[in-house]
């Protein structure tokens, strides 16, 4: 793991966007693995700015997202499909048909996972962007998930439901299940960038970089990846 500490969220966002932009400049049809949540929003804003300045084109880029809530239609404002259109896809020149997000509203969710695994087997990721859950999750691989998991249906941990309740009217509206890429899928990307910002991530950061490699902290699996960049702001390093 290469650990880079920056001063604040603004710098973390800028640096992560620069790393992704570099991948796209070297390979215009790169496959990007993308994340939702609060952390990557600044990174996406920087990428949008580079597009608007004419520095970067997403015309040939393909994307695969990490996860989606079960039961939220792609037009639901809290769905990750909606998030990606709102925060990135609608603001750049990416082709909608080149973007992929698990379908959490399919009648047969097991089939939906199988289809997503097929997409992942065809689209080899040049880079995977990750946020870090306060409980150490990556994607929605909650503590205890075996590292050999591929895309699967998962029950969200109580702590994740509480963390994500801020985006819903109340905690009861937060879906209790999601479809997520597995840890094994995540590790298949050529390069991984994981971002963590804020003191509420400090404990998970410590377990990820200093702790044993254990599925009690899914992010600790990244210690075994050959090309993983960890970008942290100072607050997130407060327990290191
Ligand atoms: C999102 C995802 C999650 C988040 C994590 C951190 O697609 O897979 O693992 O990255 O829950 O979320 P934020 O950034 O909101 O703190």
In this prediction, residue 177 carries a pLDDT of 98
The pTM of the whole model exceeds 0.95: yes
Q: Which atom of ligand 1 is nearest to the CA of 37?
A: 15
Rounded to the nearest angstrom, the distance between the alpha carbon of 226 and the centre of ligand 1 is 22
Distances in Å between the Cα of 164 and the Cα atoms of 10, 36, 119 are: 22, 11, 27
Q: Which atom of ligand 1 is nearest to the CA of 36?
A: 7
Active-site amino acid positions: 67, 135, 137, 142
Q: Give 145's contacts (C-beta < 8 A, 6+ positions apart).
A: 154, 182, 183, 215, 218
In this prediction, residue 121 carries a pLDDT of 97
The 3-class SS string of 57-93 reads CCCCCEEEECEEECCCCCCCCCCHHHHHHHHCHHHCC
Ligand 1: residues within 6 Å at CB?
A: 35-39, 66-67, 131-133, 137-140
- Tally of residues, the chain: 240
Residue with tokens 């870090």: 132
**Rounded CA separation 164/212 (Å):** 27
Q: 116: which 2 tokens?
A: 């997503």
Rounded to the nearest angstrom, the distance between the alpha carbon of 30 and the centre of ligand 1 is 23
Contact between 107 and 170 under an 8 Å Cβ cutoff? The reply is no
In this prediction, residue 151 carries a pLDDT of 98
Q: Which atom of ligand 1 is nearest to the CA of 201?
A: 16
231 bridge partner residues:
4, 195
In this prediction, residue 89 carries a pLDDT of 98
Residue with tokens 């959490």: 104
Per-residue pLDDT of the chain (240 residues; tens, 9 = 90+): 999 999 999 999 999 999 999 999 999 999 999 999 999 999 999 999 999 999 999 999 999 999 999 999 999 999 999 999 999 999 999 999 999 999 999 999 999 999 999 999 999 999 999 999 999 999 999 999 999 999 999 999 999 999 999 999 999 999 999 999 999 999 999 999 999 999 999 999 999 999 999 999 999 999 999 999 999 999 999 999
Rounded to the nearest angstrom, the distance between the alpha carbon of 36 and the centre of ligand 1 is 6
């Amino acid at each position: 793991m290469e650990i880079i500490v920056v001063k604040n969220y603004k710098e973390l966002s800028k640096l992560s966007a620069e790393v992704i932009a570099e991948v796209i400049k070297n390979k215009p049809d790169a496959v990007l693995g993308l994340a939702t949540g609060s952390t990557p929003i600044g990174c996406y804003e920087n990428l949008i700015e580079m597009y608007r300045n004419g520095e970067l084109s997403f015309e040939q880029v393909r994307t695969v997202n990490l996860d989606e809530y079960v039961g939220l239609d792609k037009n639901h404002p809290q769905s990750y499909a909606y998030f990606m259109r709102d925060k990135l896809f609608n603001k750049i020149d990416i082709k909608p048909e080149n973007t992929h997000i698990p379908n959490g509203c399919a009648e047969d969710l097991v089939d939906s996972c199988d289809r997503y695994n097929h997409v992942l087997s065809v689209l080899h990721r040049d880079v995977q962007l990750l946020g870090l859950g306060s409980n150490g999750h990556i994607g929605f691989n909650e503590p205890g998930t075996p590292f050999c998991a591929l895309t699967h249906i998962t029950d969200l941990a109580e702590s994740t439901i509480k963390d994500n309740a801020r985006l819903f009217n109340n905690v009861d509206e937060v879906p209790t299940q999601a479809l997520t890429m597995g840890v094994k899928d995540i590790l298949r990307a050529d390069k991984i960038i994981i971002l963590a910002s804020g003191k509420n991530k400090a404990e998970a950061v410590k377990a990820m970089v200093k702790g044993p490699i254990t599925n009690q902290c899914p992010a600790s699996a990244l210690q075994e990846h050959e090309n993983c960049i960890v970008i942290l702001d100072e607050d997130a390093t407060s327990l290191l």
